[in-house]
Every structure is written in C-alpha cells, then in structure tokens.
Structure 1
Amino acid sequence: MDPKVALDQLSEQLLITTARARTWRDGWPSGSVKLSLAALAHLPDGAAFLRSLFVLIDLLAEIQERQVSLNGQPATVHESDLHDLRRQRFPKTPDRWLSVDEFIYDEPWCIGGSIGNGWAGTASTIIVDHRVHLFVGCKDINDYWRRRQRLIADAISQAKQGSPGSSPLGRVHPSIAQVSAELFADGHYTDAVLRAFKAVEHRVQQVTGSNEIGQRLMNSTFGGTNPQLDVARTAGPSTPGERDGYKMLFIGAMTGLRNVRAHGDHPPDNVDEARDAIAFASLLMRRIDRAVDLRAESTNEAATAGRATDGTR
C-alpha cells in the first residue's frame, strides 16, 4: 500500500503529529511521524513496552505522593530519581524504559517536563499531578485506555454541566475542558493554564503536520500573506490586520503564558487570572477550528470545480 494512503487511514488516536499535511516525495513523507501510546502498544514489542510503561507510572505515583506530602504541589520527577527507585523496586528489569519518550507528555497524567540532552549534561524530567494515581496497577492497553477515556470524559462533563455560571470554567472549548477542567476544579490553577496552552500548541501541530514548537510554530502557521491557517473573520481592508494581530496573540500565548509556566519559574496563578487565561486559550482553539473548517470547505470546492471542468472536456 502507498504509505500516504496508509497514514491517511490511521485514526487520530494513533498519531500525535499527523503526516497528512506534509510534503510527500517518492511516496514517502519528508518528515517524521509521531505515534501515540495507542499505536505503540500494537508494535511487535508492544507488550514489553507497556510493561515498562506501567512500572514507570507506578514509580511516578510513588514519587508524586512523597512530594505532595511535603508541599501539596505537583511533583517534578527527575530521571535520576527514577533510576534510583527502579533499582530498589525492580533490580532485574532492563534500563531501556528509563528514557522519557515524547508521547508521555501528551498523556493526561503528565502536565509538563522536558526532554534532556545527555551530551549536554541535562536529564529528562516529568511533572505529574494526583491523576497519575488513577493509572496505578494497569494490566494491559485496554485497561489503561478505559481509565484514560473515563478521566477525559469526566473532565469534559464537569466543564459542560449546567449553565456557564455554574461550571467552574464556563462553556470553554471541549479540548480545553478535557485538559484543564479537573485541574482547575481542584485548585491547580497554574497547571490548568499550562495544559490549556499546551493543547493549543498541540492542535496547531496536528493540523499543520509541523514539528516546530512555540513561537516558531505560531509564526510559520499564522504569518505571511497566505498563512497555513487563516483565522481572520473579516473580509476587506481589515483582514491583514486581523491576521497579523492573531499571529501575535498566538505567539504571545506561547511566550508569555505557556513557556513561563512550563519552565517552573512562574508564581502561582489565582483563580480569576487562571480562568481568564483558560478562556483566552479557548478563544484561540475556536479560531483554529474555524480555520480548519474553512480550509476543508475550500479544498472540497476546488475538488468539485476540478471534476466539473473534467466533465466538460
């Protein structure tokens, strides 16, 4: 099968960054494709990988519980801590699982962290909150996925219930509710804001097929006279200004809201500022949805026009 056709048929749950928008050369994508946990579980060595992952989750939960007992905050877990604890609990297991893979940062029990460069002397870190305990003792991918879907469904339900005034976040975009509602309701305001803007970043990566992050991603997506995603609603002289303004809003969301919280040097948010920031992330997500819908409509219209032209030849 042509690899492009194969990738186009994959479920969104199997891909973290899709290859659909990439440039294809000689039948192969020009860039890499990131698989999600659901896809990794079905690789030839998926069973061994999952066993390693479930050990990792159990250890993260243990470290998180220790740190919460001291300061009540989400736990920042360093790779060296995992090494030490793994040797104590599982002295005969291999070390291969200790490398922190990028897909972990897209799981609902992880709220941040960084991938280290061993050659530069920096180690990987993972930031987890109380939700990691919901995945302790998983037996297989079906067990894990049931817990994961239940967690996400509960978060969305909590954000949508009742009128906008009775919900802690109001009627925010479902993708934002999925990652932020439970954290916000539990008083983890800074983490709720961080997850909201990580979701915005991830959504832009998904629909553009880009591996860029932060400011570079937003500039390449929304910049120029023909942006990859056109989030403008106006049609006329104000359109270029609206496009440029939203480009700066997306860039500012990454540099002024996401990054400072992801790097751990931001003071805790209060409830009002966190709610306002999450509402801003929701606005950006809705503009992305609109741009994606318009792009799809334009593609369909072009295809229809092409078929009509072929029929008249």
Structure 2
Amino acid sequence: MDQLRAMRVFARVIDEGSFAGAARALDLAPAVVTRLVAELEDHLGARLIQRTTRSLALTGVGERYLERVRAILADVDEAESLVQAASEEPHGHLRVMVPSAFASHQLARHLPAFHAEHPRITLSLTSTVDLAGIDEQHDITILALRDPPEGDFVARQFARSEVILCASPAYLARAGRPTDPLELEQHQMLLPPTSMLQRDVSFHHDGDQRSVRVPTPRRPLLATAHTDTLYAAALAGLGIAGLTSLVVEEALRRGALERVLPGWHALSLGLWMTMPSRKHVPARTRAFWNFMLRTFGDADRDPWQTHPLCSGAQAPA
C-alpha cells in the first residue's frame, strides 16, 4: 500500500464530504478511492470513517488521525517545495481556480506563452461562474471582487475590470441609444440574477461629475449568472448587457458591440491572485504567479480599456 497516497485520499474524502466527490477531485475511479481508504483502515486496524447510505462522519480516532495526517501532508508538500525551489527548472502539476469568464476570454489565449516558458509544468484549471473566495485545495485562486479579499492567505491585485454596458449595433439602431442612465428603464436589459446585484446602481459621469442612481430591474429580459450567455445574447441583438471589459474588449474593438452611455461609469471589479500562506512556495506556483503579473500588469488599472471604443472616450459614430 502507498500509505502517503492513501492518506491524501482519506483527507480529500473528508474535504469533499463524500467518496464520489473525492474521486472527481482527484480524477480517480470511485472504487480506487474506496479501496485506498479501506486499505488504510486495515493497515491501522481502526475504523476512521463511519459510513451510512447518505452521509459519512469521522470516528473519534479518525478525527485525531486526520489532524496528524494534515500536518504530515503539509510537511511533505513543504519539503517538495524546498527541493523544487532549488531546481533549475520549475516543474510539476499546478492547480488553479479561476472565474470561467476570465479563463475563456483572457487566460486561455496566454497559456501557449506560459507553456513555452515552462514546458515541464502541467495545469489543472477549475472554472466556476460565481467564485467569491479562496479554495485551499488549489495552488492559486483568481478572484474578481469589488473589495479586497480578506483572510489568512497571500493576495495580489494584478488588474481591474470595469463593468460596461454594451449592445449590438443592430439592437441600438432598432431601440435607440440611451443618453442618460435613467433611459435604461426603457430598454431590454441582460443582467446577472437580481440576487447577485445591488438594489440600485450609481452612475458617475467623467466630464461634469454628475451622478445618477438607477434602480436595478427587478425582472430584466434575460437574467443569468453565466457570463458567456449574456455575451452571446448581446452579440445576437437581444438587448443591453452589463459585462466586464475583459469579456467585451475584442467585440468592442471590431464593432460587434458598442459601448452604451460612453463617459458614464458604474462599478468595476478588482482581479486578484491568491494562494494559501506557506513558508515555502513551490517554484511552479511562483512561475505562474510571476507570469500573470508580467502578462496582465501589476496595478489597480484596467488593461482592457486602452482603445477609445472600449474606454468610452468617444461615442461610436
């Protein structure tokens, strides 16, 4: 029996709350997970997990054993990190949790460059629609937040992305181009679910410091947390969508979408990289961290609004 592997599987079963969840997270067959935990229990001569048809729970000795297992695994990971940090070339497997919109619209296009720099690093990208906090099962978690993240972890902001109102030229030709935020109530809006939004949104104007507070539509024409669905619907001419600059930059540049209410700004999200606090960071983690800073910047700014059609510096003709 590979005892260290069995210990990792045992800890992951508890983290995931089920054998099936651990199997998915570790990319193992469920039968392998069950067998490894059973072999570990046989080796120890003690029951670690109390199983029922619907749930599982640690036994008393299982709780004490898990505490020591976590400490042992942390020491092993730290020892590996020390060796890898001293090696000439970063290598190994890196686990990254990332918002799905950032992964598909920005990160994926830069992965060939990362691979060219670090051919011995493999990646697991876990994408999710609503990512609000760090996942300690991943080496790096990328977050898009209104406010700086708080917690016992390392965090670094590498960019900011403004939420931009935009629509297709066909929709705007048909429905008209609003000139004031209050006119949005007369348009077909494509937005995240109201549970993810504030009750109203404050718009601020660049030129004259005007500020307008607009109620969030209680029932927009389309409400979905899936960013790419909003994006596709806006491209198809369904209505005005609220999308981050990192998603719509390319469509704005080529004229497939137009910025609505240029000069008006509502909210933006900070993009942060986070990782669990560790005394020794693996070389592969540091390599990806530094690559992200070089690629996207290292500042509280929006790198996706350098073009006038993206920034709203001028209205489309």
Task: Return the TM-score normalized by structure 2.
Answer: 0.25
The structure that is helix-richer by fraction is: 1
The structure that is strand-richer by fraction is: 2
Task: Return the TM-score normalized by structure 1.
Answer: 0.25
